[in-house]
Structures are given as structure tokens and as C-alpha cells.
Amino acid sequence: MTRTGTALGAAWPEMLAVAHASGWSAALTALHAAAGPGVVVLGPAGHALVPDEVAEDADRLRQGEWEWAPDDTVEHLNTGVPGLTALRARRPVNAVQVPEARSWTTALAGLRLGLSYRLLEGALRYLDQRHTGDVVLLQHSVVKSAVADVVMEQLQVRCALEGAGPDGLDAPAVADLHAQITALDRAGVRLLGAHGYVEGGPGTAVHVSELLADAYRAGSGSTPGGFDE
């Protein structure tokens, strides 16, 4: 089947790089910009998560192949995360048909993986500075094991993304990938102890990453090995 529209399947490396270097806000800005200037992309139920400035500057909302101008019907929902705006909108009858920003969720997976790398690097620095008993935490075999688990999971996600073409991964594959990222990030943030649970700390990026997966229905919220057989 011939598909039209902007294919974002190849955009994941860029999203990964921006997220890794600069964090969620810059990466989200880049991801929405990839769909077109002034465009805010909505998930299947009409939700968007964007940096505050992107929400303010938006002049078009896009859901699938439909686009319309934001108006008073757009609701702002509280995310509890400073700098992150959640929008909720319903497609109006006067929406116009446009080329779809395809493979959004594949590009989003690249973004989330970049945040995941960033999280792990921070965790390694953290663990290298802390001790339990007389041993640096990072040198504890149980911590090494936990770190290795995260690294291996990241590698798997990376390999899956590298197998994606310009049209991105198909829906079941990308759903599994996002569930895998959620699981490995949970493992990663556990390395930080309670430090990872403090607002504004490294756990916030994991929280944002999960909210993105939820709003864009980029996979189930549950983790691999969860409750689906």
C-alpha cells in the first residue's frame, strides 16, 4: 500500500541525540517541529504533551491525517511537571485533511531511548560517588548486575529501532518497544534510590517519558513479562 505524508521513522536517531544531550523539553520541541512548524501532534484520544512554549506557539493541532487550528475548545490539563503542558482537544468538523506525520511513535521511541541513556549516565555518576559499607555502590555485584540488565535492554531497543525503515515499526512492535523502555527506565531509576523519586530530579524525566508513552498510546503501560501471555 502506498502511504503519503511525512515519514518520521528515520527521525529517531536525531530524537535520541537531542534527548540524550539536552533532555525531554528540547527533544519534545524537536519532535513536534519535525511534524511541521507550529504543529502540535495529538495522540489517538486527543492528548498532547508539549513544553509550555510549544503549547503557547502552536497554531495547528494534528491528529492522524487531520489538522485544525487550536481554539477555545482546547483544554489544558495539569501534568504536575513544571514546564510540561498537557492538552486535550477533540477534532472539530471543520478539520482539514493533511499528509500524516507517520511513524510518530517510532520517533518517540528514539526520544525515550535518548532519555534512558541520559538517565543511566547520571545513575553511573551517582553510584560512583556513593558507598555502602566500605565499597563504592557501583562496585557492588548486585548493582553491577542491575546496571548490566539496563544496558542489555537498551541494546535491544536500539537494535529494534535500527531495524525500522522510514515508515517506522508496525504497531505491535512499537508497542512492545515502548513497554520495554518503560521497564528498563524503571530499572534505571531504581539505581538512584530515593533520589530518583524527587520532583525535578532524574526521575522526572522518566515520569515524562512514561506520560508520553501513555498519551500517544505508544504501547501498553505494562512491562514485558507483565500480565499478558
Question: Interface with other proteins by CB under 8 A: which residues?
Answer: 43-47, 77, 79, 86, 88, 130-133, 140, 142-143, 146, 182, 186, 189-191, 193-194, 197-200, 203-204, 207, 210-211, 214-217, 220-223, 226-229
Which residues are 85's β-sheet partners? 50
Strands (E) in 36-171, as ranges, are 39-41, 47-51, 60-63, 66-68, 75-77, 84-88, 96-97, 101-102, 131-132, 135-136
Q: Which is nearer to other proteins, 91 or 190 (CB)?
A: 190
Q: Which residue has the cell 541513556?
A: 117
State the Cα–Cα distance between residues 112 and 199, nearest whole angstrom.
19
Amino acid at 133: G
Q: Which is nearer to other proteins, 16 or 51 (CB)?
A: 51
CB of 44 to other proteins, least distance (A): 5
Which residues are 84's β-sheet partners? 51
Q: Which is nearer to other proteins, 66 or 197 (CB)?
A: 197
What radius of gyration, in Å, describes the C-alpha atoms of the chain? 18
Q: Which is nearer to other proteins, 17 or 151 (CB)?
A: 151
Q: Which is nearer to other proteins, 47 or 158 (CB)?
A: 47
Residues 6+ positions from 21 with CB-CB distance below 8 Å = 114
CB of 75 to other proteins, least distance (A): 10
CB of 91 to other proteins, least distance (A): 14
CB of 105 to other proteins, least distance (A): 11
CB of 86 to other proteins, least distance (A): 6
CB of 209 to other proteins, least distance (A): 12
User: 110 and 12 in contact (C-beta within 8 Å)?
Assistant: yes
Q: Which is nearer to other proteins, 16 or 86 (CB)?
A: 86
Residue 89: CB atoms within 10 Å: 18
